[in-house]
Structure 1
Amino acid sequence: MSLKEQTIQQIEQNNLKINPNYDQHFLVDEKAISELISAANITKKDIVLEIGSGTGNITKELAKYAQKVICVEVDSQFKQIMQTIPTANVIVIYDHAMDVLRKKAGNFNKIIANLPFSICESLLKHLIFAKYVELCVLIVPKSFAEKALQNPIFTAFLNINKLKDIAKESFYPLPDTTSVIISITHWSNYEEDNEDNKEYKKEAEGKNNEKDRAFLKRKLYMQEEKKLANGLREAIIDLYFMKYKKRLSKKDAKKIIDSFGLDVFLLETLIKDMPLEAYDKATEKVRI
């Protein structure tokens, strides 16, 4: 009996109802499950959080490799199935994933999930500051992955890699779109990248480079209550100090901003109210 047939049988025997509000599309392709877990490079040192355990198809495989698996499932009707998984290293929590992420912060080091579309964006926003998460390997809709890779905030904080397409036929029930496996790690801090790195500093001096732009975007995002003009000024001062260990005056920082030729209205806009594309616009001409 195939994994798909087993899953359907479990659902029918337990009189379970697929809830469309929870984006329930269970992974029933053994090869895809193997690829998902392989990408996470799990060892017996890892404590893994699985979001959306459902019928436990991924859980059972995770339990073979991890020290502990903490499963989060919002739909308690699956308790009947999860109770049959004979593994001592699996804990199941029936709650909303984002609530558990906040409560259990630091209690796990990897996240693996066939992620419900409804929380894709919320999870990535959470990961921005969740430095304790060493690696996140997710199955998400292909459209979301492409959107995330174009998001200037996500890509400034997170190293997002698309690993493999997953066909719709790998799921039950069948989703509307193709999915992909993505991996997510945190970019190292600018100061970690460039501590005593004289070669990089010499090469980057006066040039527009991606590390500088990412640094500025991170600093802007963390000053969202400020106007862009003020937040950008402080970010440039910080960047200058990181690169040269010298203080740049506010006056000189303003001269640099003036050279960008940014719209006055944009400069007076609160960072939290800026459109995403403004992060690229505000940093594209930086040369320090």
Structure 2
Amino acid sequence: MRISEILEITRKYNVTPRKRKGQNFLVDERVANREIEYAQISKEDTVLEIGPGLGILTSRLVERAGRVIAIEYDRGLAKYNRERFGNKLELIEGDALLIPFPAFDKIVSNIPYNISSPLIFKILEHRFKLAVIMIQKEFAERMVAQPGDKRYSRLSIGTYYRADCELLEFVPRSRFWPAPEVDSMIIRLVPRDPPFRVKDEKSFFELVDLLFKYRRKKIGTVLRMSGIDAKSIEHLPYTDRRVDTLAPHEIGILSDVISSFTSLEKESDRRSL
């Protein structure tokens, strides 16, 4: 897509790319073509696109997929995509973080950088065949980071627990207009069953959130700060290890033991009444 075309569209539909909205439009047609190929789109697929923007992916999706649904926040871009694609595209105007997702098989999307984290977590809550997504390079590297890596985070654990994540292609900032301050990465997510089981997923992820607020501290220190008494901590595993060295399944074990202690304490309190 030529810059002159982009300027014409943005003028006509009163669109001003905003950094706070993460509006950087992919202009390299070859990159868009490869994203479609990575997703292996067919007429049997219902595809969800978040943030169609100027339609560089959308134009390919409507030709390859059986059904395409797009969620667009910007009013001008929503109008542009409705007029351009007509009944080939089902367009939902609104905030992708707030709108319930419709049923879909695949996601193909260049995600706005400013909502990457909450949007990825929302996507991972759903079941689908696969997602091919372009996101900020550093964010993609955090998704696949291993214990001990400075990029290892709650995002790494949440991704690993719910899906296989593959880094497919580096995309330099020069492939966008206006050029962002960071480079991008195309990734592929394939949902799968958790690689380990925990007694209570809510408690597990609450523990992950707590621990990674203090990623460089020892487990025992963080748990004491959270209000768990020292006597109970003596019976917990991994207390002398730093948070960022624990593998996801080890945090799962820790979560289960803490849950068991909590259950025993509640039962003891109930019997003492």
TM-score (norm 1): 0.67
Q: Match of 1:215, as an amino acid?
A: F
Distance 1:226 1:13 in 2: 47
Distance 1:165 1:3 in 2: 22
Deviations 1:183-203 (A, max 9, x none): 0011245xxxxxxxxxxxxxx
Deviations 1:89-108 (A, max 9, x none): 201111011222x252xx21
Q: Residues 122 and 149 from structure 1, CA distance in 2 versus in 1: closer, same or farther, beyond 3 angstroms?
A: same
CA shift for structure 1 position 117: 1.5
Deviations 1:70-106 (A, max 9, x none): 1111111213421331442201111011222x252xx
Q: Residues 51 and 224 from structure 1, CA distance in 2 versus in 1: closer, same or farther, beyond 3 angstroms?
A: same
2:203 matched residue in structure 1: 223
CA shift for structure 1 position 56: 1.5
Distance 1:280 1:15 in 2: 47
SS of alignment partner, residue 175 of structure 1: coil
- Is 1:8 the counterpart of 2:3 in the alignment? no
2:125 matched residue in structure 1: 129
SS of alignment partner, residue 185 of structure 1: strand
Answer yes or no: is the 8 Å Cα contact 1:137–1:184 preserved in 2. yes
Distance 1:63 1:29 in 2: 18
Number of aligned positions between the proteins: 219
Distance 2:25 2:112 in 1: 10
Matches within 5 A, 1:17-56: 17-56=16-55
1:262 matched residue in structure 2: 238
Answer yes or no: is the 8 Å Cα contact 1:115–1:138 preserved in 2. yes
Q: Match of 2:191, as an amino acid?
A: H
2:250 matched residue in structure 1: 282
Distance 2:205 2:140 in 1: 28
SS of alignment partner, residue 43 of structure 1: coil
- Is 1:161 the counterpart of 2:137 in the alignment? no
Answer yes or no: is the 8 Å Cα contact 1:4–1:29 preserved in 2. no
SS of alignment partner, residue 81 of structure 1: helix
1:152 matched residue in structure 2: 157
Q: Residues 188 and 94 from structure 1, CA distance in 2 versus in 1: closer, same or farther, beyond 3 angstroms?
A: same
Distance 1:18 1:226 in 2: 36
SS of alignment partner, residue 130 of structure 1: coil
Unaligned runs of 5+ in 1: 190-213, 229-256, 267-273
Q: Residues 32 and 219 from structure 1, CA distance in 2 versus in 1: closer, same or farther, beyond 3 angstroms?
A: farther
Identity %: 23
Q: Match of 1:186, as an amino acid?
A: P
Distance 1:227 1:178 in 2: 32
- For the aligned residues, what is the CA RMSD? 3.1
